[in-house]
């Protein structure tokens, strides 16, 4: 029975480990996972929601404002007025003090205000509406930047994994070569100089394998961070890179359709409306208001006595607010808003230049990657054959150690160029695809399941 429970516990632990492992079959699955789990991308959604709430908040001042109020007053000292005594039947020339009012008063009522003419409030709403668009395009821009970073890290993981596998293969071949060299050295056929060079080659191959393993793990850490995973989370990418070129992709979008440019464009509109808002401060504001109240007055603290009458008041009116002089605050604010508008215009022009350069470089890299991949595929295949032939000739004592090492060095250079070409091809191709997919913000956010 004890063995049964132990086996069951081990099975549960293995299942838990398998379930906790994150397996991604493609780049698209990585991007979808990051869009759901990365905290900074969740904040982008929250920022857009905040901008929408701010828009609703700026609508409130345009609606009637109604409030209820109530006060209880205790006049500790009532005003006293001297009036001629003859008004009260007294002698002429004398004055009597008369106290006006009551000590206690209770008032309650309602008050309403409505802005009839308020350019400031309307401009605030227009600014908030534009800020919603800025937040939307900024969200798309940051999501696109995250997707592009994930694409680069994703293919770097796959490439370093392939490089590690090739380095392991080279190490195993060199191990076999060293065994042959040991036999020759023990039989006195191989000189110490050549034997030491082959041992150094084997050590170099082993260290290259370790270096590639380290690069592979480092790229995994970077990808995990971009996916919103902790560094110790199990991660597996099941896709295998092929050195065969995929279908040709073209950049179907323009720099003016990029999210970065559109965000800057809406930021300029915000600056323009902010400038209009500051200029509107010269205009007067007209408010309509109304007030209805009831009050009880008494010299006794018990103002809730039902015998006391309620005195009613009601009024409606218009109020004009027109600040004529604000200590130059208004003029300075208008000037600052105009300067901010000019800065936004310059930023938009600079963003257009930057995006055009980015697109031109991306197309150039993709074109070069296509040519490089085709050339270095054949180049690497030739040097693989050359190294196999060199090994055969070395074992047959036709090639010297120097000749073998020279062919091996040429193979390593070709291998590194080949891996670099494969990486450039996949990365530039995926970046073009992502820019095309994110270039239409009127559509739902790509790879987003929410």
**Phi-psi domain of 327 (left: phi exceeds 0; alpha: psi -120 through 50; beta: other):** left
The answer to whether the beta carbons of residues 268 and 96 sit under 8 Å apart is no
The answer to whether the beta carbons of residues 159 and 302 sit under 8 Å apart is no
If pLDDT is split at 50, 70 and 90, which confidence band does 9 have? low
Residue 347 shares a structural domain with residue 232: yes
pLDDT at 441 over 70: no
Residue 113 shares a structural domain with residue 188: no
Residue 244 shares a structural domain with residue 130: yes
Residue 57 shares a structural domain with residue 184: yes
Q: Which tokens in the block code for residue 165?
A: 């596998």
For residue 396, the model assigns a pLDDT of: 83
Residue 181 shares a structural domain with residue 308: no
Residue 26 shares a structural domain with residue 104: no
For residue 23, the model assigns a pLDDT of: 94
For residue 90, the model assigns a pLDDT of: 73
Q: Has residue 224 been placed in a domain?
A: yes
pLDDT at 2 over 70: no
Residue 160 shares a structural domain with residue 183: yes
Q: How many CA atoms lie within 13 A of 116 on its CB side?
A: 11
User: Within a 10 A sphere around the Cβ of 416, how many other Cβ atoms?
Assistant: 14
Residue 319 makes CB contacts below 8 A (sequence gap 6+) with 286, 287, 288, 289
For residue 412, the model assigns a pLDDT of: 87
Please count the helices (runs of H) and the strands (runs of E) in the chain: 8, 8
Q: Has residue 7 been placed in a domain?
A: no
Q: Has residue 1 been placed in a domain?
A: no
Tens digits of residue pLDDT in 13-34: 444 444 467 999 999 999 999 9
What is the Cα–Cα distance from 420 to 422, expressed in whole angstroms?
6
Residue 355 shares a structural domain with residue 406: yes
Coil, helix or strand at residue 55: helix
Residue 295 shares a structural domain with residue 146: no
If pLDDT is split at 50, 70 and 90, which confidence band does 200 have? confident
Q: What is the DSSP string of 353-422?
A: HHHHHHHHHHHHHHHHHHHHHHHHHHHHHHHHHHHHHHHHHHHTT-S-HHHHHHHHHHHHHHHHHHHHHH
What is the Cα–Cα distance from 345 to 267, expressed in whole angstroms?
9
Q: Which of 5-14, 15-24, 97-106, 202-211 has the highest mean pLDDT?
A: 202-211
Q: Has residue 8 been placed in a domain?
A: no
pLDDT at 354 over 70: yes
Q: Has residue 197 been placed in a domain?
A: yes
Nearest one of 240, 220, 217, 244 to 150, comparing CA atoms: 220
Residue 157, exposed/middle/buried by CB under 10 A (0-12, 13-18, 19+)? buried
Coil, helix or strand at residue 24: strand
Q: Has residue 246 been placed in a domain?
A: yes
Q: Has residue 5 been placed in a domain?
A: no
Tens digits of residue pLDDT in 142-164: 999 999 999 999 999 999 999 99
Coil, helix or strand at residue 426: helix
Q: What is the CATH number of the domain that holds 155?
A: 1.20.1600.10
Percentage, residues of the chain above pLDDT 70: 93
Q: How many CA atoms lie within 13 A of 290 on its CB side?
A: 9
Q: Which tokens in the block code for residue 4?
A: 């049964």
- Domain count across the chain: 2
The tokens 């003090």 sit on which residue?
Answer: 97
Per the model's pLDDT, the better-predicted residue between 343 and 394 turns out to be 343
Sheet strands (E) in 227-322 = 235-237, 285-298, 311-321
φ/ψ of residue 188, rounded to 5? 80, 10
Domain residue limits at 73: 64-117+285-321
Nearest one of 131, 130, 151, 45 to 445, comparing CA atoms: 45
User: What is the arithmetic mean of pLDDT over 89-111?
Assistant: 81
Q: Has residue 10 been placed in a domain?
A: no
What is the Cα–Cα distance from 408 to 394, expressed in whole angstroms?
12
Tens digits of residue pLDDT in 209-259: 999 999 999 999 999 999 999 999 999 999 988 766 678 899 999 999 999
What is the Cα–Cα distance from 130 to 239, expressed in whole angstroms?
43
Tens digits of residue pLDDT in 284-295: 999 999 999 999
Tens digits of residue pLDDT in 337-351: 999 999 999 999 999
Stretch (H or E) spanning 449: none
User: What is the arithmetic mean of pLDDT over 23-46?
Assistant: 94
User: What is the arithmetic mean of pLDDT over 178-196?
Assistant: 80
For residue 425, the model assigns a pLDDT of: 93
Q: Is the torsion defined by CA of 343, 348, 353, 359 positive or negative?
A: positive
User: What is the arithmetic mean of pLDDT over 416-443?
Assistant: 88
Per the model's pLDDT, the better-predicted residue between 194 and 450 turns out to be 194
Per the model's pLDDT, the better-predicted residue between 410 and 446 turns out to be 410
Residue 134 shares a structural domain with residue 189: yes
If pLDDT is split at 50, 70 and 90, which confidence band does 186 have? confident
Residue 101 shares a structural domain with residue 248: no
What is the Cα–Cα distance from 388 to 426, expressed in whole angstroms?
29
What is the Cα–Cα distance from 76 to 66, expressed in whole angstroms?
32
If pLDDT is split at 50, 70 and 90, which confidence band does 397 have? confident
Residue 148 shares a structural domain with residue 262: yes
Report the chain's mean pLDDT, rounded to a whole number: 87
Percentage, residues of the chain above pLDDT 90: 54
User: Within a 10 A sphere around the Cβ of 303, how many other Cβ atoms?
Assistant: 19
For residue 12, the model assigns a pLDDT of: 46
- Rg for the chain, CA atoms, rounded: 41
The answer to whether the beta carbons of residues 24 and 111 sit under 8 Å apart is no
The tokens 């359709």 sit on which residue?
Answer: 257
Coil, helix or strand at residue 82: strand
If pLDDT is split at 50, 70 and 90, which confidence band does 445 have? confident
What is the Cα–Cα distance from 440 to 450, expressed in whole angstroms?
18
Checking DSSP bridges between strand 285-298 and strand 311-321, what pairing results, if any? Answer: antiparallel
Nearest one of 220, 219, 246, 177 to 432, comparing CA atoms: 246
User: What is the arithmetic mean of pLDDT over 191-198?
Assistant: 82
């Amino acid at each position: 029975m004890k063995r049964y429970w132990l086996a069951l516990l081990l099975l549960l632990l293995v299942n838990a480990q398998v379930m906790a492992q994150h397996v991604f079959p493609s780049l698209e699955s990585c991007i979808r996972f990051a869009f759901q789990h990365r905290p900074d991308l969740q904040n982008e959604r929250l920022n857009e929601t905040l901008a929408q709430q701010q828009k609703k908040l700026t609508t409130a001042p345009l609606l009637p404002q109604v409030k209820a109020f109530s006060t209880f007053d205790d006049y500790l000292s009532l005003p006293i007025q001297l009036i001629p005594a003859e008004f009260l039947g007294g002698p002429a020339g004398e004055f009597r003090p008369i106290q006006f009012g009551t000590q206690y008063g209770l008032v309650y009522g309602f008050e309403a205000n409505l802005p009839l003419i308020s350019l400031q409030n309307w401009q605030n709403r227009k600014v908030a509406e534009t800020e919603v668009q800025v937040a939307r395009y900024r969200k798309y821009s940051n999501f696109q930047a995250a997707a592009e970073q994930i694409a680069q890290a994703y293919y770097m993981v796959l490439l370093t994994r392939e490089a590690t596998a090739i380095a392991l293969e080279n190490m195993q071949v060199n191990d076999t070569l060293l065994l042959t060299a040991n036999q020759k050295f023990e039989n006195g056929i191989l000189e110490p100089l050549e034997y030491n060079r082959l041992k150094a080659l084997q050590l170099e191959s082993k260290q290259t394998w370790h270096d590639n393993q380290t690069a592979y793990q480092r790229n995994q850490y970077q990808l995990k961070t971009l996916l919103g995973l902790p560094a110790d989370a199990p991660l597996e990418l099941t896709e295998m890179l092929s050195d065969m070129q995929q279908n040709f992709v073209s950049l179907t979008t323009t720099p003016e359709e990029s999210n970065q440019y559109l965000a800057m464009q809406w930021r300029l509109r915000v600056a323009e409306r902010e400038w209009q808002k500051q200029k509107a401060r010269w205009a007067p504001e007209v408010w309509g208001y109304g007030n209805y109240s009831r009050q009880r007055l008494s010299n006794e603290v018990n103002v809730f006595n039902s015998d006391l009458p309620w005195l009613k008041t009601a009024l409606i009116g218009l109020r004009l607010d027109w600040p004529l002089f604000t200590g130059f605050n208004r003029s300075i604010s208008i000037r600052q808003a105009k300067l901010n508008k000019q800065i936004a215009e310059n930023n938009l022009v600079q963003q257009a230049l930057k995006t055009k350069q980015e697109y031109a470089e991306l197309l150039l890299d993709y074109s070069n990657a296509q040519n490089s991949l085709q050339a270095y595929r054949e180049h690497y295949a030739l040097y693989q054959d050359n190294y196999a032939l060199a090994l055969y000739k070395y074992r047959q004592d036709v090639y010297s150690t120097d000749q073998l090492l020279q062919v091996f060095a040429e193979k390593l250079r070709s291998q590194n160029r080949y891996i670099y070409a494969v990486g450039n091809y996949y990365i530039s191709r995926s970046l073009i695809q992502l820019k095309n997919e994110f270039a239409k913000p009127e559509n739902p956010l790509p790879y987003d399941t929410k």
